Each structure stands twice: as structure tokens, then as C-alpha cells.
Amino acid sequence: MLLRRVIPCLDVADGRVVKGVRFVDLTDEGDPPELAARYAAEGADEICFLDITAAPEGRGTILDVVERTARRVFVPITVGGGVRTPAEMRDVLRAGADKVAVNTAAVRDPELLKRCATRFGRQCVVISIDARSDPARPGAWEVVVQGGRTPTGLDAVAWAQRASRMGAGEVLLTSIDRDGTQSGFDLELLRAVVAAVDVPVVASGGAGTPEDMVAALAEGNADAVLAASIFHRGIHSIASVKAAIAAAGVPVRIVDGAA
């Protein structure tokens, strides 16, 4: 039986983790590979790096981060942020990433998904979608890009469907309304996208408690849940979230001896 995944997300800028993290005994608490290794040991099913490096000259640093992480972390690594071309995707994959998420570039040029899928296989192409409630259309969601700042007029559910048909093998769906609020995932959005696509959907945006994670999986039908601050702030560990998921009867990978 396919197990549901719990994925910690690390925001990386200029090769360093930028959000607050809880591991106090680290030699270097801002070093992404060190943190990724900690999360993997705790039972993370996958590690997600989101490259939020602002300056173009800092872009190459994510490759070094991925390379160093892949040497010591033996769970899948997904990288998102700033990838615009198949050549850039190739570089990230060669550094040791398993999947690459594209967002703004795919909205501008949906054919990018097809080109990447043809070249690398759809299993490593993730369409990252930032969606927010559309004030003009109650019960519908609009795609926003550039870190949630720019509206596109695209319907999020229709875009998820189109992107998966173009070649994306997975959807990383972030509710911009909920992101950072810790008020729970947008289950309606999640259900609508899961029903519209036949590829796995990762829920993101709004995780505040283990119960939120359980709801995204059990009620939202997500294949995986992704979260940042709930783990970084040390309120909940990966292991405790997974224990709650298992207790709710949702199949999940339990790692023996995880803290």
C-alpha cells in the first residue's frame, strides 16, 4: 500500500537556510545539508529545498547545497525556485536532486513542462502551483506567481490539470491564503485539485498542528504534506506528526528509533 509522505521544506538563500530552525546542538545551524540530514534521521520521507536566492549571482549556490546533501541524505530530494529551462533542471538533477519543481516559468511557457518531461521523465518534473481564493469567483482559486505577488487570471484547478497533462508528474499545491498562518490546509482547494488530476498531489500552506496534516491526508486526499515552520520552530517533530498520522489510521512510514 502506498504510504503518505511528510516533507519538511527548507527555504534556502545564498546557500543558507533562512528561516528559524530548532536544532540547537548543530555545529552550523544554517547549513542546509546538516538540517536535511537531521530531518531524514527523524523520518522525513523527502526533503524539499526552496531556493529563494534573490540575486542572480547567488543562484549557483543551490547546486552546491544539493550536492553536499545528496552525499549524506538517502531519501528523495526535491528542489524548487528559479528553474526556468531544461538546462537548469539538468544541472539541479546532476547535483543529486530527484525532482525539480517549476512554477512561474511553466505558467509563462507551459511547453517547458513537456520539454523537461521528454528529456528527464515526468517523474522528476513537479508543477508547483501557488493558489489563492478568487474574489471574483466564489469557490474558485486563481494561480499567482513570483512568490505569490502576481495574479495570472488562471484557474488553479484547470492549470493543475493542464500542467499534469503537459508532463508534470506531481503537483505541489500551496494555498497562499493559508501559507504562514498555521490555520490548517485549504481542504476545499486540495480536494478540487486531487479530483482533477491523476498524478500525486502534495499539500502545502497552513500546517499548524499534526491534526492539520491528518486532515490534509484523510479529508483532503493529498498524497503528501509539506510544511516548514511547524517543524523548524520545534513545536512538532517529524516523528510526532507521523505518529499522529498513523494513529488516525492513515498509512505512513514509521522510522524506528526516530526522535
Partner 1 sequence: MAEARPVRLAVVDYGAGNLVSIRNALTLIGAETVVARGAAGLVGADAIVVPGVGASAPAMNRLRRQGLVEPIWAAVAAGTWYVGICLGLQLLFERSDEDGARMLGLLRGSVSRIPDAPRLPHIGWNQLELVKPRHPVVAGIADGSPAYFVHSYVPVPEDPDVVVARTEHGGTFASLVAHDRLIGFQFHPERSGRDGLRLLSDTVGLIAAGPPGVSASVAGHTADARV
Instruction: Tell me if 68 contacts partner 1 by CB under 8 A.
Output: no
Size of the site for partner 1 (CB under 8 A): 32
**Closer to partner 1 by Cβ: residue 224 or 244:** 224
**Closer to partner 1 by Cβ: residue 5 or 162:** 5
> Please, is 137 exposed, middle or buried when counting C-beta atoms within 10 Å of its C-beta (0-12, 13-18, 19+)?
exposed
Question: Which among 13, 12, 31, 15 has a CA at the least distance from the CA of 23?
Answer: 31
Contacts of partner 1 in 109-148 (CB under 8 A): 120-124
DSSP string, 61-105: HHHHHHHHHHTT--S-EEEESS--SHHHHHHHHHTT-SEEEE-HH
**Closer to partner 1 by Cβ: residue 47 or 145:** 47
d(CA 233, CA 222): 24
> Please, is 61 exposed, middle or buried when counting C-beta atoms within 10 Å of its C-beta (0-12, 13-18, 19+)?
middle
Place of cell 481542504: 187
Considering only 40, 113, 116, 190, the residue that binds partner 1 (CB under 8 A) is 40
d(CA 113, CA 134): 25
Instruction: Tell me if 38 contacts partner 1 by CB under 8 A.
Output: no
Instruction: Tell me if 177 contacts partner 1 by CB under 8 A.
Output: no
**Closer to partner 1 by Cβ: residue 5 or 178:** 5
Active site residues: 11, 130
Instruction: Tell me if 1 contacts partner 1 by CB under 8 A.
Output: yes
Instruction: Tell me if 87 contacts partner 1 by CB under 8 A.
Output: no
| Residue ranges in contact with partner 1 by CB under 8 A | 1-5, 40, 45, 67, 70-71, 74-76, 93-96, 98, 120-124, 169-170, 198-200, 223-224, 253, 255
